[in-house]
Amino acid sequence: MRRMLWVGVCLSVLLAGVAVPASAQLRTQVVAEGLSRPVAFVPDPTSATRFLIVQQGGLIRMLENGMLSTFLDLRSVIRTGGGGEEGLLGMAFAPDAATSGRFFVNFTSLAGDIVVARFTRTPANAPTVDLSTRVDLIWPGGLPYIPHPDNSNHNGGHLAFGPDGYLYIGTGDGGGGNDPDHNAQNPDSLLGKMLRIDVNVPDGHPTGYQVPPDNPFDGQPIPALGEIWAFGLRNPWRYSFDDLGPGATGALIIGDVGQGALEEVDYEPAGAGGRNYGWRLREGTIATPGVPAAPPAAYLPLTNPLFDYVRTIGRAVTGGYVYRGTQLPAAYRGRYFVADSATSVVGSVGLSVSPATGEATVTDVVEHTAELGGSLGGIVSFGRDHEGELYLVTFAGRILKIVAAGAPGAPIGLQASVSGRNVTLAWTPPVGAPAPLAYRLEAGSSHGASDIAVFTTAPSPSVGVAGVPDGRYFVRVRGIASGAVGPASNEVEVVVACAPPAPAGLTHTVSGDTVSLSWSPSAGATGYLVEAGSSSGLANLAALSVSHNGLDVSSVPPGTYYVRVRATNACGVGAPSAEVVVSVP
């Protein structure tokens, strides 16, 4: 495996990539293929098993259980012909999308301008969305787009919500060589910037967003458009927040495509807006070749990138993510994965983050290209699922998941049987090496979730769990070998309903001081518990056990009683019946 050289700005030296161990640590697993120019892979917030694939030509496709369908078709409203950089370029779900149904897309209009539009799907987990819900954000000057010069390149296009709940929009400088209009340093232009806006506004809001009150440019250090978060970007092609999993810092990390000398990655600690990353005056850490010093920077100082690299390695950086998942070996947690779309080089960068300032420096660099499969056909984006696992999006039309090389395959044919409160799970071990040394069982309250239980079992392909409470569980199992966790088995739905159902038809009669109660038998019941209280829902006056579906109580003192009955069996006490109000004169 060839070594990878990056220019480590913080070290001011060329860093030689750390040698990769002889045995490959990582590999890729095909998730989807046969796609047309995919540029983004976005998890659906309403399901752990659904993903949206953004295709540059204008289709957003839904991937669920290996099946593809059309989620949204924008082909009639976008321009894709210019230089390969126009089209449908980005998508992000609002933080409350699981209830609001809102998401945002970024695309090139038919006139060549930048449009950021909001859509709403109803219900929030619908497999398609209605085009009529489109609302274009209105920018300064009252325009439903950000004007873009008559150049087809440098559109930016990525969208991401930060941990602060605000939408971040990366815009290119407008294209052309050397930013001829000097947009990236112009405080009155939204181009060549990182924008930050609050889109949590009512449906009828006149612009579709408002400027957050803590955005940095309110006359200091200079007057500028309020939407601007940072200056001096050329073409920010994919950025992300380190915001998922233990150890996450909240930092914003930006891959900014260079021009002719260097590709750069910028690092911004959480909340550190107002930075100027230097373009067009500077490319990476050097003065931009062929660009005169005037006009000057909008303001100083210029912020150095986290690192940059020479164009013999790559010519179009693709920003990635800090890995915080659990399925790769622990040594990869906290490393920043990055790629180059021109050469399909993939690397990971070790970060040392100062606890005092939040700033990061590079500790080492490892290239993973060969172990991940060599030339993968243009890595144009990374994806990250709800568990923090990483995916590669290739212009060749495939989505690839990064998995541990030593991880076993997926267990096969998971089945569940329920006997009372005892659940038995059994499966067939994965085919091929390595054989699992243990299994990880995951149970959740919805498809793909693991919010109820995660625990490790022995290498035997079965497990019994006793004392499971009544409920509905979604369960899957993964193999573990040499510390690497494999993909999930099929998912099974387990329903435990051991306690008898609530009795129906509770009625009562009162004769003098005698109260007679009766109700319909409950399936599986071996007895009943009659509760009486001084107010609704209480059992502070009586709790009487009976063996059949009726009860006569004599010498009841005058008063008003709230009565309900529950069925019982060896599993315990079931839910209460409907309540009756008994009045004894």
**Whether pLDDT at 231 is above 70:** yes
Query: Are residues 93 and 72 part of one domain?
Result: yes
**Whether pLDDT at 290 is above 90:** no
- Which residue range is the domain that position 566 belongs to? 507-584
Q: What is the mean pLDDT of residues 462-479?
A: 93
**Whether pLDDT at 11 is above 60:** no
Contacts of 554 (CB under 8 A, 6+ apart): 513, 514
- Whole-model pTM? 0.80
Q: What is the mean pLDDT of residues 109-119?
A: 97
pLDDT at position 450 is 86
Query: Are residues 241 and 367 part of one domain?
Result: yes
pLDDT at position 171 is 98
Q: What is the mean pLDDT of residues 15-23?
A: 40
Q: Which of 496, 528, 545 is the last residue of a domain?
A: 496
Q: What is the mean pLDDT of residues 5-27?
A: 46
**Dihedral angle sign, alpha carbons of residues 154, 157, 163, 166:** positive
Q: Are 263 and 309 in contact (CB under 8 A)?
A: yes
Q: What is the mean pLDDT of residues 150-168?
A: 95
Q: Is 101 exposed, middle or buried (CB count within 10 Å of its CB: 0-12, 13-18, 19+)?
A: buried
**Whether pLDDT at 151 is above 90:** no
CATH classification of the domain holding 282: 2.120.10.30
- CA quadruple 531, 532, 533, 534: dihedral, nearest 10: 180
Query: Are residues 416 and 400 part of one domain?
Result: no
Which amino acid, 214? D
pLDDT at position 497 is 86
Domain-embedded: residue 107: yes
Q: Which of 455, 470, 496 is the last residue of a domain?
A: 496
Number of domains in the chain: 3
Query: Are residues 346 and 385 part of one domain?
Result: yes
CATH classification of the domain holding 526: 2.60.40.10
**Whether pLDDT at 163 is above 50:** yes
pLDDT in tens, 322-336: 999 988 988 999 999
pLDDT at position 152 is 85
Query: Are residues 437 and 466 part of one domain?
Result: yes
- Residues above pLDDT 70, as percent of the chain: 96
pLDDT in tens, 398-455: 999 999 988 888 899 999 999 989 999 999 999 877 899 999 999 998 888 888 999 9
**Whether pLDDT at 19 is above 60:** no
Q: Is 394 exposed, middle or buried (CB count within 10 Å of its CB: 0-12, 13-18, 19+)?
A: buried
